[in-house]
């Protein structure tokens, strides 16, 4: 696979997938039809990036395509997929985005971002709505949250420089599901409550930090016990208790390590329990659902 954008993402996604599941080359080739491959990898073999120089490796490609189809039912694109695209309506896209997110928040640059990466753009807008203009935070603070006593310098605009110190994180309030947080902004104390979906076990000094609730794990001896292949976030859940499903049917979409993976039913049967929904964080081997044959 050419290691240049955009196929470099395919290379990275596939490499991380192979390492996380400890697959051999033979494992990958022989089980490609049933493995929960990253969506970018499936899209590549379906021709979503166009025919690569030298063609596709066989029998890997044929195995990847087995049981997988494009939205129109074809197994793959013939030739350059862009040749089949209808003209993009930028005016309609701008109107729809402004209705969804507000006129003031949408620029033409946002319209272009949505055209290129629609799901990523919507995720970002939802994130920004909850957390604000996080692009003003220093990278280290964004990646590693402050601990009590830590201070950060933030610039919000011309002449809008602030020193922010995290003074204290209170204990978990089980009734409200929140923690009280005390900040010092330019020496002035601010008090606020913030939601916390963690358990009340405190893991850090000063009341900060917590461990995640332990989810039920899948039963490796039960073929109908569908476990999560790797840590990530559930993007979509396509099943409910009582649904009849076929073997290989997509039940969940997982976002992990900057890639999206479809998780398919290991057997045909009826959904007994669904343990997770869209937006939930999951770990490897967490039980996603149970299927009764």
Backbone angles phi, psi at 250, to 5 degrees: -70, 125
Average pLDDT over residues 174-190: 87
CA 236 to CA 255: how far, in whole Å? 9
200 neighbors 210 (Cβ within 8 angstroms): yes
**pTM for the full predicted model:** 0.54
Average pLDDT over residues 263-284: 92
Range ranked top by mean pLDDT from 22-26, 198-202, 213-217, 283-287: 22-26
pLDDT at 167 over 80: yes
Least confident of 48-62, 92-106, 225-239, 277-291: 92-106
Backbone angles phi, psi at 212, to 5 degrees: -80, 150
For tokens 């040749």, the residue is 83
Least confident of 84-93, 117-126, 192-201: 192-201
Q: What pLDDT does residue 158 have?
A: 86
Which of 3.40.50.2300, 1.10.3720.10, 2.40.50.100, 2.60.40.1220 would CATH assign to domain 225-292? 2.40.50.100
Write down the domain spans for the chain.
7-84, 90-132, 135-207, 225-292
* Domain 90-132 is found in CATH 1.10.10: yes
Return the CATH fold of 7-84: Cyclin A; domain 1 (1.10.472)
Sign of CA dihedral 87, 255, 194, 161: negative
Tokens for 35, please give them.
Answer: 């493995």
Give percent of the chain with pLDDT exceeding 90: 51
Average pLDDT over residues 169-174: 84
* Domain 135-207 is found in CATH 3.40.430.10: no
76 neighbors 45 (Cβ within 8 angstroms): yes
Q: What is the DSSP letter of 196?
A: -
202-258 per-position pLDDT tens digit: 434 344 444 445 678 888 778 899 999 888 899 999 999 999 999 999 999 999 877
Average pLDDT over residues 38-67: 92
Indicate the SS3 state at residue 51. coil
Question: Between the CA of residue 125 and those of 17, 95, 110, 165, 223, what are the distances in Å?
Answer: 28, 16, 10, 27, 39
């Amino acid at each position: 696979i050419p290691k240049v954008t955009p196929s470099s993402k395919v290379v990275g996604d596939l490499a991380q997938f192979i390492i996380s599941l400890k697959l051999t080359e033979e494992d990958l080739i022989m089980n490609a039809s049933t493995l929960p491959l990253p969506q970018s990898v499936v899209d590549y073999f379906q021709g979503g990036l166009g025919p690569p120089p030298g063609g596709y490796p066989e029998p890997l490609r044929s195995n990847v395509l087995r049981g997988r189809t494009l939205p129109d039912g074809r197994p793959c694109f013939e030739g350059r997929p862009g040749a089949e695209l209808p003209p993009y309506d930028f005016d309609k896209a701008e109107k729809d985005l402004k209705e969804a997110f507000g006129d003031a928040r949408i620029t033409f640059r946002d319209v272009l971002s949505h055209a290129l990466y629609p799901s990523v753009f919507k995720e970002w807008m939802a994130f920004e709505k909850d957390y604000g203009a996080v692009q003003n935070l220093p990278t280290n603070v964004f990646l590693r949250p402050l601990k009590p006593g830590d201070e950060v310098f933030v610039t919000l605009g011309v002449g809008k420089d602030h020193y922010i110190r995290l003074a204290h994180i209170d204990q978990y309030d089980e009734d409200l599901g929140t923690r009280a947080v005390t900040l010092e902004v330019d020496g002035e104390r601010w008090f606020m409550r913030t939601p916390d979906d963690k358990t009340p076990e405190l893991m850090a000094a000063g009341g900060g930090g917590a461990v995640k609730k332990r989810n039920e794990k899948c039963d490796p001896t039960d073929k109908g016990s569908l476990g999560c292949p790797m840590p990530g976030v559930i993007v979509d859940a396509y099943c409910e208790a009582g649904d009849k499903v076929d073997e290989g049917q997509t039940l969940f979409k997982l976002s992990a390590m900057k890639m999206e993976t479809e998780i398919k039913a290991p057997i045909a049967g009826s959904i007994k329990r669904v343990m997770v929904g869209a937006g939930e964080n999951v770990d490897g081997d967490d039980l996603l659902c149970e299927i009764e044959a």
